[in-house]
């Protein structure tokens, strides 16, 4: 790549080459990558705080350039990635490759490219003598429920060093995204009563009970599409619901004692997914469980929320919207159906916008890539942002 990593000042591409070389799939520790980032920040004299998960194997970094105070702007990016298992890569996923203006590697687009751009700008930020703080949020486990962002928010409350505004650099083609849907993942477990399949009335079939509940989920999906509520700008413009996995039973001639399925809602802002959870529970209690419990009182359904991610919505007339539109040269803003850490930051009282290099269609794929031109555009954007809001 264009500069050796030992150089005190080096390019976004050189930094990206190092960042993608660490396999930070969410199931793995990210401490080796964070040690590299810490060494880099130390070399440039940038103070930072580290917050860890309960295992001590995952770390966030909150660095501040300029006044060590609250306020200013945060640039936020996660460094965990989705797995490469089962994907057909044409070369090593953890070695950056350049071809035809594209850079290929796991995480190049989602979203180590943005993190590399932020780190490459550190010497410039230091040289500017910022009047207000520039925060760098580098987090863990976004891909499995934004666990790192939630831990980072706790640390912000403890330190009192929260920024006034935040830009989450998820891939958006360097276009400002003002809103995204929330998400709630629910595990539904069913307890039946086993028995011989020749005498079905003496048992409770957990798989069939789960199937009845799944039929309700399918009906709800049709209801959302037909009745809403709707919000223009989202695709689709309504809350969605689906079942993603199901398991149960052992062999065909035994009435299944257990079944389980995992489902999700992706809700438009303002549509409370917990309300829909309660609707599901009420439907099951009213229409499915009575027949089960008539056979045996210990049968029935249990529910466990696995992930709850809030939606995000920044006003079209907010100062941050106007600034990001101007600095990116974009006349339009967008809304997306995928979730980000932005909803957590906004819920913590930090107005947040999404704007970052690359496109979501390039993420999570074999031979994931980001265009060099997108990184170049991001490099210019974050420097202009600092000049505009922090000088």
Q: To the nearest 10°, the Cα dihedral for 12, 14, 15, 18?
A: 150
44 CA to centre of own chain: 29
**C-alpha distances out from residue 326 to 175, 314, 333, Å:** 11, 16, 11
Assign residue 62 a region (left: φ > 0; alpha: ψ between -120 and 50; beta: otherwise): beta
Q: Is 80 a catalytic residue?
A: yes
109 CA to centre of own chain: 13
* Residue of 23, 141, 142, 231 marked catalytic: 142
Query: Which residues contact residue 218 at a Cβ distance below 8 angstroms, ignoring those fewer than 6 apart?
Result: none
DSSP state of 361: G
- State whether the Cα torsion 3-141-143-359 is positive or negative: negative
- The answer to whether 112 and 368 are in contact (CB under 8 A) is no
- State whether the Cα torsion 244-250-253-257 is positive or negative: negative
CA atoms within 13 A on the CB side of 226: 6
Phi then psi for 369, rounded to 5 degrees?
Answer: -150, 165
* Residue of 17, 80, 220, 374 marked catalytic: 80
**What is the DSSP pairing of strand 182-191 with strand 258-267?**
antiparallel
- Whose tokens are 């048992």? That residue is 203
- Quote the crossing angle between the two packed helices 372-389 and 12-20, to the nearest 10°: 110
- State whether the Cα torsion 355-263-58-93 is positive or negative: negative
Provide the annotated active-site residues.
80, 142
């Amino acid at each position: 790549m264009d500069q050796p990593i030992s150089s005190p000042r080096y390019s976004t591409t050189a930094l990206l080459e190092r960042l993608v070389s660490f396999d930070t799939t969410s199931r793995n520790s990210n401490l080796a990558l964070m040690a590299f980032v810490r060494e880099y920040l130390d070399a440039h004299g940038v103070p930072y705080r580290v917050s860890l998960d309960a295992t001590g194997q995952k770390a966030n970094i909150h660095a501040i350039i300029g006044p060590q105070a609250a306020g200013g702007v945060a640039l936020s990016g996660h460094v965990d990635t989705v797995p490469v298992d089962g994907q057909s890569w044409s070369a090593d996923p953890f070695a950056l490759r350049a071809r035809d203006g594209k850079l290929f590697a796991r995480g190049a687009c989602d979203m180590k490219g943005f993190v590399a751009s932020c780190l490459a700008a550190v010497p410039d930020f230091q040289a500017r003598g910022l009047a207000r703080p520039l925060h760098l949020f580098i987090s863990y486990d976004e891909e499995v429920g934004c666990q790192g962002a939630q831990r980072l928010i706790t640390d912000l409350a403890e330190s009192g060093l929260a920024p006034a505004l935040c830009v989450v650099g998820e891939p958006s083609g360097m276009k400002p995204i003002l809103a995204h849907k929330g998400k709630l993942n629910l595990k539904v477990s069913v307890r039946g009563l086993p028995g011989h399949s020749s005498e079905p009335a003496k048992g409770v079939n957990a798989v069939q009970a789960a199937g009845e509940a799944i039929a309700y989920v399918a009906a709800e999906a049709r209801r959302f599409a037909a009745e809403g509520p709707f919000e223009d700008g989202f695709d689709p413009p309504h809350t969605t619901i689906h079942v993603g996995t199901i398991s149960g039973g052992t062999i065909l001639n035994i009435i299944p004692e257990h079944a389980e399925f995992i489902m999700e809602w992706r809700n438009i802002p303002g549509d409370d997914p917990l309300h829909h959870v309660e609707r599901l529970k009420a439907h099951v209690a009213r229409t499915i469980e009575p027949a089960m419990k008539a056979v045996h009182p210990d049968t029935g359904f249990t529910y466990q929320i696995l992930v709850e991610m809030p939606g995000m919505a920044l006003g079209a007339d907010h100062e941050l919207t106007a600034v990001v539109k101007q600095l990116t040269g974009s006349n339009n803003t967008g809304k997306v159906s995928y979730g980000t850490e932005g909803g957590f930051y906004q819920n913590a009282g930090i107005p947040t916008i999404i704007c970052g290099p690359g496109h979501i269609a390039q993420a999570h794929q074999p031979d994931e890539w980001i265009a060099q031109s997108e990184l170049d555009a991001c490099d210019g954007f974050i420097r202009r942002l600092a000049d505009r809001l922090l000088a």
